[in-house]
């Protein structure tokens, strides 16, 4: 994950006096907490919990945030998926919120009887007063916090970047978040909620869309597409196309640019490449070192050889040479050269070294040496046999490859003709198989009344068995009536050899045909999108709907191709109708927002559009700036100034802005205390708004 959680327990909690506020960015995706005045939040984790059951003790425990999945094997996680305290962008599950706050304060290093610091916590725009009230209650009652302030994260981000000069005091803040997207106009540095608008689409929907599309495209990989992996993929590969229709057309006509844009398991391949090249380098270095040693050894005098050798660590010259050959062999292997030379070398070396006794004639050896010789002969023959078998296999492979290559060429030359040929072949094979089956099962019926050796269960015998019976009965009858002297001569027993041979033939035949059928079937499945394998209608298997695939597993089975999905999924931010949410997209929301302000002040509107500011996790998609600008230009009168800027760090800027705000001396006046909360009641809480310019 490009974004990593930080959950180490902080140790300097006691360093901060009671007046230092704690700043919390309570987002639907991540929870960030830290001290006011700092630039980085201390603790960051995903805003989810899980409540699995421990396998051995049986108690239900709480796990907050995303943790190492390897450790979760001690827990039974079947009944407990990850749960969030949010519904949309509003907190509604305060029990979960309590667990999360527990964890957060604990990791911040909290000790003591209560949290004795004022708290600044973020909420959504126009948070319902119920949610706000329950949150305040939770903080005051359970944690003993002295005072609380609520703020909107987009506004904090805007103020922070305003200090940096990225946006002006009049502007628009666009915040595509995790579950919702907001557009908030700022006038004189204060957000005007009257003109804000919200669409219920966000990063979560983009990831979910990508996950569903990939699962449907690769149903056999469905179990491996976890939400976190897809989010990784999304962050790495997705982008926003400047014009969706044009990009789609690029892919549709299959142009080269489209191929450049598809990502095809590239990461895996690159990693494998890197590993291989590093190993090759290593081996080469080793090889050079050894060769150098040998050279030196050759130059050194005879007497000094032992001392020289002891320095290098090798016992004798042969050892160096053998390591050298080994290293060069493995280098060759790593570079991908044929292993056949290796085998030859080995064989030659073996036959000369390992079997010295074979060539010595028998009468010169003692009994022990004779035994040794027999063993060596045995070993030699077995290794030779193995090598012969290997050779045959290699030849078969080559033959098969040649055939498939010819096949491919044929296919590429004339795909239609090839397809037709394949189809006719398939039909023929199907018919043959069916015929054979029919013979096996119904042949008995047809000849049931004939004299098949007086066998009562004529229907069940197949052709082979009937043949066997026929042979036996003819043998018995041919010998003439009278005594039964069937086995007197040895040649009589040759009859059984005939029979078993017949039997084998019969069983081999259909196997071959069936193998051929399976091959043709799989080939057709690969190349013909409209091909559906005819199910074998045997009465003994009424339940199986698919014949088992005997297709060899190719590398394509482990690749996931991301072509159109790369820009199709983020497109839903601009057209939520693509996922069924009938609301305005981001560019249209800007128009809606300006309309809602209804200032009728042209100058103000121009000022707003000339300082459009983007924050939030989803604004990290490449290409979103240009797309947004093009979209807004469609809505505004010709020639009006439009400038779109992204926050310096869209993910953490909200927390930073809140931290800067809380460090201000005037912050205390904006927060409300416990006494305020209980005296003034709900109405006052509804009206409570933070003033962002201090």
Partner 1 sequence: MEAEVIKAELVLPTHMSFKRVQTYEKYPKGQSKVRWKQLKQIIQAENYQNYDPDEPNYVNIESPPSMQPCKRICDITGFEAPYQDPRTNLRYANADVFKLVRSLPNEYVQRYLALRKAAVVLR
Site for partner 1 in 177-216 (CB under 8 A): 193-194, 196-200, 209, 212-213, 216
Answer yes or no whether residue 129 interacts with partner 1 by CB under 8 A. Answer: yes
Of 72-91, which residues contact partner 1 (CB under 8 A)? 72, 74, 87-88, 90
Nearest residue (CB) to partner 1, 54 versus 267: 54
Of 535-574, which residues contact partner 1 (CB under 8 A)? 564-565, 568
| Length reported for the chain | 694
- The distance of closest approach from Cβ of residue 159 to partner 1 in the complex, given in angstroms and rounded to an integer, is 19
* CA dihedral for 400, 406, 412, 415, sign (positive or negative): negative
Nearest residue (CB) to partner 1, 214 versus 290: 214
- The β-bridge relationship of strands 672-673 and 147-152 is antiparallel
Answer yes or no whether residue 585 interacts with partner 1 by CB under 8 A. Answer: yes
> Which part of the chain contacts partner 1 (CB under 8 A), choosing from 266-274, 358-366, 435-443, 575-583?
575-583
Binding test (CB under 8 A) with partner 1, winner from 258, 430, 579, 630: 579
Binding test (CB under 8 A) with partner 1, winner from 25, 153, 231, 588: 588
The closest alpha carbon to 22, from 648, 693, 669, 667, belongs to: 667
Distance CA 670, CA 668 (A): 5
Answer yes or no whether residue 60 interacts with partner 1 by CB under 8 A. Answer: yes
Answer yes or no whether residue 288 interacts with partner 1 by CB under 8 A. Answer: no
Nearest residue (CB) to partner 1, 60 versus 494: 60
Binding test (CB under 8 A) with partner 1, winner from 128, 189, 510, 623: 128
Binding test (CB under 8 A) with partner 1, winner from 551, 575, 633, 674: 575
Answer yes or no whether residue 638 interacts with partner 1 by CB under 8 A. Answer: no
Binding test (CB under 8 A) with partner 1, winner from 5, 10, 20, 62: 62
Binding test (CB under 8 A) with partner 1, winner from 30, 35, 45, 105: 105
Residue 318 class from Cβ within 10 Å (0-12 exposed, 13-18 middle, 19+ buried)?
Answer: exposed
Answer yes or no whether residue 142 interacts with partner 1 by CB under 8 A. Answer: yes
Binding test (CB under 8 A) with partner 1, winner from 30, 35, 45, 143: 143
What is the SS3 assignment for 24?
Answer: strand
Of 7-46, which residues contact partner 1 (CB under 8 A)? 9
Distance CA 195, CA 366 (A): 107
- The distance of closest approach from Cβ of residue 671 to partner 1 in the complex, given in angstroms and rounded to an integer, is 19
Distance CA 628, CA 615 (A): 13
Answer yes or no whether residue 106 interacts with partner 1 by CB under 8 A. Answer: yes
- The distance of closest approach from Cβ of residue 231 to partner 1 in the complex, given in angstroms and rounded to an integer, is 18
Distance CA 16, CA 662 (A): 14
Of 495-534, which residues contact partner 1 (CB under 8 A)? 529-530, 532
Answer yes or no whether residue 167 interacts with partner 1 by CB under 8 A. Answer: no
Which helix (H) or strand (E) segment holds residue 84: the answer is strand 83-84
Answer yes or no whether residue 249 interacts with partner 1 by CB under 8 A. Answer: yes
Contact 379, 354 (CB under 8 A): yes
Distance CA 254, CA 260 (A): 10
CA distances from 15 to 111, 112, 116, 556 (A): 12, 13, 13, 57
- The distance of closest approach from Cβ of residue 598 to partner 1 in the complex, given in angstroms and rounded to an integer, is 11
Answer yes or no whether residue 333 interacts with partner 1 by CB under 8 A. Answer: no
Size of the site for partner 1 (CB under 8 A): 80
Contact 53, 42 (CB under 8 A): no
Nearest residue (CB) to partner 1, 127 versus 465: 127
Answer yes or no whether residue 239 interacts with partner 1 by CB under 8 A. Answer: no
Q: 14-43: string of b/e by CB count within 10 Å (b at 16+)?
A: eebeeebbbbbbbbbbbbbbbbbeeeebbb
Tokens of 639: 């020639």
Residue 594 class from Cβ within 10 Å (0-12 exposed, 13-18 middle, 19+ buried)?
Answer: buried
Contact 262, 561 (CB under 8 A): yes
């Amino acid at each position: 994950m490009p974004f990593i959680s930080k959950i180490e327990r902080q140790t300097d909690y006691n360093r901060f006096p009671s007046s230092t506020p704690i700043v919390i960015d309570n987002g639907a995706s991540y929870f960030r907490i830290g001290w006011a005045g700092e630039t980085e939040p201390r603790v960051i984790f995903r805003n989810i919990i899980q409540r699995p059951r421990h396998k051995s003790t049986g108690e239900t425990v709480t796990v907050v945030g995303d943790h190492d999945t390897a450790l979760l094997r001690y827990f039974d996680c079947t009944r407990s998926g990850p749960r969030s305290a949010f519904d949309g962008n509003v907190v509604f599950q305060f029990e979960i919120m309590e667990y999360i706050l527990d964890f957060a304060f604990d990791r911040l290093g909290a000790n003591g009887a209560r949290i004795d610091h004022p708290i600044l916590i973020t909420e959504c725009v126009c948070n319902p007063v119920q949610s706000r009230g329950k949150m305040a209650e939770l903080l005051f009652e359970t944690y003993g916090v002295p005072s609380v302030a609520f703020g909107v994260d987009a506004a904090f981000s805007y103020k922070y970047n305003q200090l940096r000069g990225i946006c002006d005091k009049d502007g628009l803040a666009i915040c595509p978040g995790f579950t919702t997207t907001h557009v908030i106009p700022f006038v004189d540095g204060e957000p005007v909620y009257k003109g804000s608008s919200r669409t219920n689409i966000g990063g979560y929907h983009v990831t979910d869309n990508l996950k569903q599309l990939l699962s449907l495209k690769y149903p056999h990989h469905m179990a491996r597409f976890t939400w976190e992996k897809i989010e990784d993929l999304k962050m790495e590969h997705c982008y926003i196309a400047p014009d969706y229709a044009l990009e789609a057309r690029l892919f549709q006509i299959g142009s080269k640019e489209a191929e450049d844009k598809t990502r095809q398991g590239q990461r895996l391949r690159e990693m494998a490449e890197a590993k291989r090249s590093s190993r090759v380098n290593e081996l080469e270095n080793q090889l050079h070192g050894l060769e150098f040693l040998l050279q030196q050894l050759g130059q050194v005098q005879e007497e000094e050889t032992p001392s020289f050798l002891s320095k290098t660590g090798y016992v004798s010259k042969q050892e160096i040479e053998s390591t050298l050959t080994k290293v060069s062999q493995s280098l060759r292997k790593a570079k991908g050269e044929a292993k056949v030379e290796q085998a030859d070398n080995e064989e030659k070396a073996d036959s000369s070294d390992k079997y010295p006794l074979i060539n010595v004639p028998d009468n010169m050896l003692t009994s022990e040496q004779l035994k040794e010789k027999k063993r060596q002969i045995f070993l030699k023959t077995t290794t030779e046999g193995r090598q012969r078998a290997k050779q045959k296999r290699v030849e078969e492979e080559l033959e098969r490859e040649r055939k498939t290559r010819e096949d491919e060429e044929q296919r590429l030359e004339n795909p239609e003709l090839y397809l037709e040929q394949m189809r006719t072949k398939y039909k023929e094979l199907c018919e043959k198989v069916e015929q054979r089956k029919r013979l096996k099962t119904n042949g008995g019926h047809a000849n049931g009344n004939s004299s098949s050796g007086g066998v009562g269960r004529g229907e069940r015998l197949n052709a082979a068995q009937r043949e066997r019976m026929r042979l036996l009965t003819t043998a018995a009858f041919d010998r003439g009536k009278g005594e039964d002297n069937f086995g007197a001569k040895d040649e009589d027993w040759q009859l059984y050899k005939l029979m078993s041979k017949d039997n084998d033939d019969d069983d081999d035949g259909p196997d071959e045909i069936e193998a051929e059928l399976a091959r043709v079937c799989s080939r057709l499945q690969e190349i013909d999108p409209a091909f559906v394998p005819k199910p074998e209608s045997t009465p003994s298997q009424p339940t199986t709907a698919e014949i088992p695939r005997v297709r060899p597993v190719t590398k394509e089975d482990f690749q996931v191709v991301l072509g159109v999905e790369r820009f199709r999924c983020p497109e839903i931010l601009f057209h939520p109708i693509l996922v069924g949410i009938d609301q305005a997209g981001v560019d249209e929301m800007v128009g809606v927002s300006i309309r809602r302000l209804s200032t009728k002040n042209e100058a103000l509107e121009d000022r707003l559009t000339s300082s459009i500011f983007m924050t939030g996790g989803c604004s990290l998609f490449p290409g979103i700036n240009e797309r947004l600008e093009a979209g807004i230009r469609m809505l505004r009168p010709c020639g009006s100034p439009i400038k779109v800027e992204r926050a310096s760090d869209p993910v953490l800027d909200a927390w930073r802005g809140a931290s800067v705000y809380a460090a201000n001396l005037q912050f205390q006046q904006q927060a409300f205390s416990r006494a305020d909360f209980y005296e003034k009641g709900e109405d006052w809480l509804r009206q409570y708004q933070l003033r962002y310019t201090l």
